[in-house]
């Protein structure tokens, strides 16, 4: 977030959860990425009094009717496990032909700068691509080892540099859309 926002909002300091007094994070039980991002940003603002930015993201696979979707991080159950999630995805798609393995990563980023609905906004970014048949790469996290973005054919998102991934990723796209809105809101 700091890398991407710095270009549009110079001088902004991004604080993480480790930089504020600990609080109980809300349960992510909304049915949409936007809803979960807003839950977390509202909680951040309520607990700290600071403008709060939060995201929710995941992988939506066409052949699985959009699953794992908002359940991406915990699709294979608790405790969260990227390895189990990736194996479940491969198992679910084992007999799906390559031309039907499309999907996209989705990221919704919510900002809450005050206590009313007028103090909230949400942006959304998507990275289209396809799920491959084997794990490749050691960068990124989650499903990156199984996903080839349309804008980077032949490489999984786990094989991209941070700069390459920032340029095409769902999170990068959402944050670049967010940056001018945030700059305007924060003055």
23 labeled part of a ligand binding site? no
Tell whether residue 40 is among the known ligand binding residues: no
143 is in an annotated binding site: yes
Assign 3-class secondary structure to the chain. CHHHHCCCCCCCCCCCHHHCCCCCCCCCCCCCHHHHHHHHHHHHHHHHCCCEEEEEEEEEEHHHCCCEHHHHHHCCCCCCCHHHHHHHHHHHCCCCCHHHCEEEEEEEEEEECCCCHHHEEEEEEEEEEEECCCCCCCCCCHHHHHEEECCCCCCECCCCCHHHHHHHCHHHHHHHHHHHHHHHHHC
Q: Is 72 annotated as a binding residue?
A: no
Would you say 144 is a known binding-site residue? yes
State yes or no: 166 annotated in a binding site: no
The annotation status of 56 as a binding-site residue, yes or no, is yes
Catalytic residues: 56
Q: Which residue ranges make up the annotated binding site for Mg(2+)?
A: 56
Q: Which residue ranges make up the annotated binding site?
A: 56-57, 141-144, 165, 170-171
Q: Which residue ranges make up the annotated binding site for substrate?
A: 57, 141-144, 165, 170-171
């Amino acid at each position: 977030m700091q890398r991407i926002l710095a270009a549009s909002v110079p001088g902004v300091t991004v604080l993480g959860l480790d930089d504020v007094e600990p609080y109980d994070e809300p349960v992510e039980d909304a049915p949409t990425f936007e809803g979960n991002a807003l839950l977390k940003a509202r909680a951040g603002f309520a607990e700290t009094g600071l403008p709060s930015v939060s995201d929710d993201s995941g992988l939506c696979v066409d052949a699985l009717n959009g699953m794992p979707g908002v359940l991406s991080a915990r699709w294979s159950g608790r405790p969260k496990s990227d390895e189990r999630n990736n194996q479940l995805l491969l198992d679910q798609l084992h007999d799906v032909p390559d031309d039907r393995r499309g999907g996209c990563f989705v990221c919704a980023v919510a900002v809450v700068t005050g206590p009313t609905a007028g103090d909230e906004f949400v942006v959304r970014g998507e990275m289209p691509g396809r799920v491959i048949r084997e794990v490749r790469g050691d960068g990124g996290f989650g499903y990156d080892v199984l996903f080839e973005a349309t804008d980077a054919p032949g490489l999984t998102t786990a094989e991209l540099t941070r700069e390459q991934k920032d340029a095409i990723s769902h999170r990068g796209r959402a944050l670049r859309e967010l940056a001018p809105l945030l700059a305007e809101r924060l003055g």
